[in-house]
């Protein structure tokens, strides 16, 4: 065992107080330092944190940014989400691969650079994009890639690459990213100017129960997609038994096609921090955690410095704003590349330093969440709305939006359109209006809510975004007249197969079976009974899966079967006399013949 490894790992564990619940932070640091978390390192971590080797391995093996095998000092992760593919990520991939002389999944022979694919990194409005370690490289072209690789090979640090110019706080020296905000529509609630600090001030003048009442009267509902009434969630958490309570902000937007939280974290962090503080006061929690997806690590230093400013201004910490007894701290927990961690109970597991498995419910987080204490998990946008409600009142909020859907909804719009970006609309906007705004009047299909949402066609473009009609977490992907919709469906199924946590049978195995059948159909080997097979298997997976991932993963297939059935039917071959015309006996016998090392006696041709 090398002494330096031992010493460094002890140091890393020590800086997290050898706390097993901080396992994510520990393994992330080790990965960063050594390019992997080796088995030897796992033993050392286990010893320092009083856990077991296999438990450390369990965590490391769960997250795609962590690895037991050695990776290069620089890891290039090219996003190959459907939108990136629309925008030409294949050419970029080819260029990367040939410039580096390695395939995806491999490391250069000098061991310095690793090339990988990654699903949606939250940059669909500036696709194709890649992460070079923590650095975001948006709007890539084959040309740019050549330049980048040349510099990396020369030993230029990823943060020193010239990747273009960002806007807003992206130009802050603590971010320095080429990312653009692309806020193309400013609504009344989140992006409008606000009177910073007023919300918290108003909240502290009320009793905690009164704050919760205000949220209830404003009819604020969760913006993450599920739409649970926020006030009720807070009330449950407040009234649950437990000495300590927690507020967790879910900033793990992983749904392909969503990137609004990226912008909120960059520009509206104050609204967010203030909202969390209000939540802490209302619920009776003294700790808040923001779980930020690993893809947004480029924002970490900046966010930390902004948190520090709030501590200096006594907006966080002890006796906030002079209110004695009201203490509230916020820490940031980085994720490490796992879509499932956007699911609230998986997110809690991850915060606890465990693999991101969703938890068994009941008990719900409001009763028994983070470290078994009552916990309220709220989406970034939801919490930002809270601050504004406390600032301007419930009636003001109620006056915006549509019936049963008060306030605004921020949409991340990308794909086939002239103006991809972030749009804040009052609830009630129709798809048609939205398509006009973004310059996609001739769209063929819109994926509302990302792959876990629904594909809708032209005949449904008059539907509106709100909780009673098209509910959504905010991902809107637009498909143009020439696009191959079923290919996109196949890509999304691949995404779910990759991202299933694997805990439960229908999601782990069922999605693979769905995808296999779809592939068969796409290859022209389908028959009409296959559509019933897809339908019933898909419905079964939804009914029996344990969490939201499996309960929605068949949606790309099921909603295209519903709204675009002719696309499937066009691929079907008719049955001839009850025979399956697409059955290829030669191919079916292939494996067996190989094993036997001779041709079949019965089927020669």
Partner 1 sequence: MSEKTVIIKIDGIEIKAKAGQTIMQAADEAGVYIPRLCYLKDLTPHGSCRVCTVKVNGRYQTACTEPAVDGMEVENKTQELEGLRRDIIDMLFVEGNHFCMFCEKSGNCDLQAEAYRLGICAPKFPYLFPDRDIDGTHPDIFIDRNRCILCGRCVNASRDVDGKTVFEFVGRGSEKKVAVNADAKLGDTNMALTDKAADVCPVGAIIKKRIGFAIPVGKRTYDQKPIGSEIESKS
Identify residues 300-339 at the interface with partner 1 (CB under 8 A): 338
Exposure class string for 414-437: b at 16+ Cβ within 10 A, else e: bbbbeebbbbbbbbbbbbbebbeb
Q: What sign does the CA torsion over 503, 505, 510, 512 have?
A: positive
- Counting contacts by CB under 8 A, is residue 101 touching partner 1? no
Q: Which does 355 bind (CB under 5 to 8 A by kind): ligand SF4, partner 1, none?
A: partner 1
Q: 43, 508, 522, 535: which one contacts ligand SF4 (CB under 6 A)?
A: 508
Nearer to partner 1, 355 or 388 (CB): 355
**Minimum distance from residue 338 beta carbon to partner 1 (Å):** 7
Residues that contact ligand SF4, how many (by CB under 6 A): 14
Q: 503, 525, 531, 564: which one contacts partner 1 (CB under 8 A)?
A: 503
List, in sequence order, the alpha helices (H) in 183-268.
Answer: 198-204, 208-217, 230-239, 260-267
**The token pair that represents 453 in the structure block:** 């949402």
Nearer to partner 1, 266 or 367 (CB): 367
- Counting contacts by CB under 6 A, is residue 547 touching ligand SF4? yes
Tell me the C-alpha distance between 123 and 118, whole Å.
12
Nearer to ligand SF4, 134 or 494 (CB): 494
- Counting contacts by CB under 8 A, is residue 66 touching partner 1? no
Identify residues 340-369 at the interface with partner 1 (CB under 8 A): 340, 355-356, 360-362
Neighbouring residues of 74: CB distance < 8 A, sequence distance ≥ 6:
112, 113, 114, 132, 133, 152, 158
Neighbouring residues of 409: CB distance < 8 A, sequence distance ≥ 6:
223, 381, 424, 425, 426, 427, 429, 465, 466, 472, 474
- Counting contacts by CB under 8 A, is residue 544 touching partner 1? yes
- Counting contacts by CB under 8 A, is residue 546 touching partner 1? yes
**Minimum distance from residue 379 beta carbon to partner 1 (Å):** 23
Tell me the per-residue interface mask from 419 to 448 with partner 1, x by CB under 8 A, - otherwise. Answer: ------------------------------
Give the single-character DSSP code of 597.
T
**Minimum distance from residue 508 beta carbon to ligand SF4 (Å):** 5
Taking CB under 6 A as the binding criterion, the range among 35-43, 433-441, 504-512, 554-562 that sits at the site for ligand SF4 is 504-512
Q: Is 576 helix (H, G, I), strand (E, B) or coil?
A: strand
Taking CB under 6 A as the binding criterion, the range among 38-46, 455-463, 546-554, 570-578 that sits at the site for ligand SF4 is 546-554
Run of H or E including 447: strand 445-448
Taking CB under 8 A as the binding criterion, the range among 203-211, 322-330, 442-450, 502-510 that sits at the site for partner 1 is 502-510
- Counting contacts by CB under 6 A, is residue 514 touching ligand SF4? no
Nearest CA to 93 out of 79, 83, 107, 106 is that of 79
Q: 62, 191, 273, 503: which one contacts ligand SF4 (CB under 6 A)?
A: 503
**The token pair that represents 138 in the structure block:** 């948006």
Taking CB under 6 A as the binding criterion, the range among 190-198, 317-325, 494-502, 579-587 that sits at the site for ligand SF4 is 494-502
Q: Is 574 helix (H, G, I), strand (E, B) or coil?
A: coil
Tell me the C-alpha distance between 357 and 500, whole Å.
10
Give the single-character DSSP code of 148.
H
Identify residues 354-413 at the interface with ligand SF4 (CB under 6 A): 358
Tell me the C-alpha distance between 179 and 534, whole Å.
40
Are the beta carbons of 37 and 27 closer than 8 angstroms? Answer: yes
Tell me the C-alpha distance between 441 and 145, whole Å.
33
- Counting contacts by CB under 6 A, is residue 101 touching ligand SF4? no
- Counting contacts by CB under 8 A, is residue 487 touching partner 1? no
Q: Which does 547 bind (CB under 5 to 8 A by kind): ligand SF4, partner 1, none?
A: ligand SF4
Tell me the C-alpha distance between 189 and 407, whole Å.
7
- Binding stretches for partner 1 (CB under 8 A): 39, 43, 52-55, 57-58, 61-62, 338, 340, 355-356, 360-362, 497-506, 508-510, 512-513, 516, 537, 540, 543-546
């Amino acid at each position: 065992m090398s002494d330096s490894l031992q010493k460094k790992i002890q140091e890393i564990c020590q800086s997290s107080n050898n706390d097993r619940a901080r396992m994510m932070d520990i393994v992330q640091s080790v990965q960063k330092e050594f390019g992997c978390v080796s088995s030897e390192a796992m033993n050392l971590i286990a010893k320092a944190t009083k856990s077991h080797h296999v438990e450390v391995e369990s965590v490391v093996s769960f997250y795609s940014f962590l690895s037991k095998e050695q990776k290069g000092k620089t890891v290039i992760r090219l996003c190959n989400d459907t939108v990136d593919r629309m925008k030409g990520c294949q050419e970029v991939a080819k260029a990367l691969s040939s410039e580096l002389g390695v395939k995806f999944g491999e490391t250069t022979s000098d061991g310095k650079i690793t090339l990988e694919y990654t699903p949606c990194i939250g940059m669909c409005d500036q696709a194709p994009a890649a992460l070079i370690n923590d650095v975001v490289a948006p709007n890539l072209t084959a040309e740019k890639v050549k330049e980048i690789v040349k510099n990396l090979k020369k030993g230029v640090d990823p943060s020193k690459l010239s990747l273009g110019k960002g806007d807003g706080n992206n130009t802050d020296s603590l971010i320095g990213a080429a990312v653009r905000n692309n806020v193309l529509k400013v609504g009344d609630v989140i992006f409008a100017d606000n009177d910073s600090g007023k919300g918290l001030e108003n909240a502290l003048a009320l009793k905690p129960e009164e704050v919760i009442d205000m949220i209830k009267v404003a009819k604020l509902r969760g913006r993450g997609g599920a739409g649970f009434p926020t006030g009720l969630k807070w009330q449950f958490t407040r009234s649950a038994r437990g000495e300590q309570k927690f507020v967790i902000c879910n900033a793990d937007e992983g749904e392909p096609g969503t990137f609004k939280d990226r912008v909120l974290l960059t520009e509206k962090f104050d609204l967010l921090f203030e909202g969390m503080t209000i939540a802490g006061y209302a619920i009776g929690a003294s700790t808040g955690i923001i779980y930020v997806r690993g893809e947004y690590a480029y924002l970490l230093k900046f966010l930390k410095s902004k948190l520090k400013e709030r501590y200096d201004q006594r907006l966080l910490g002890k006796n906030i704003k002079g209110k004695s007894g009201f203490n509230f701290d916020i820490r940031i927990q980085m994720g490490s590349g796992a879509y499932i961690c956007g699911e609230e109970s998986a997110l809690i597991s991850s915060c606890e330093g465990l693999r991101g498995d969703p938890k068994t419910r009941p008990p719900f987080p409001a009763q028994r969440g983070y470290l078994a204490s009552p916990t309220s998990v709220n989406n970034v946008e939801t919490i930002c709305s809270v601050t504004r409600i406390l600032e301007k009142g419930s009636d003001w909020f109620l006056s915006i939006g549509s019936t049963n859907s008060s306030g605004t909804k921020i949409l991340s719009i990308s794909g086939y359109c002239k103006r991809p970006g972030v749009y804040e609309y009052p609830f009630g906007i129709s798809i048609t209006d939205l398509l006009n705004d973004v310059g996609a009047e001739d769209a063929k299909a819109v994926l509302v809510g990302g792959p876990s949402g629904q594909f809708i066609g032209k005949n449904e473009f008059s539907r509106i975004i709100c909780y009673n009609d098209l509910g959504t977490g905010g991902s809107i992907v637009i498909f143009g007249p020439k696009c191959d919709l079923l290919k996109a469906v196949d890509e999304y199924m691949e995404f779910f197969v990759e991202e299933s946590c694997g805990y439960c049978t229908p999601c782990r195995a069922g999605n693979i079976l769905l995808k296999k059948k779809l592939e068969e159909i796409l290859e022209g080997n389908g028959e009409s009974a296959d559509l019933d097979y897809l339908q019933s298997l898909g419905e079964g997976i939804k009914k029996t899966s344990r969490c939201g991932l499996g309960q929605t993963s068949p949606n790309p297939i099921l909603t295209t079967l519903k709204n675009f059935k002719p696309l499937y039917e066009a691929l079907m071959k008719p049955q001839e006399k009850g025979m399956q015309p697409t059955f290829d006996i030669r191919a079916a016998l292939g494996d067996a013949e190989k094993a036997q090392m001779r041709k079949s006696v019965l089927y020669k041709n």
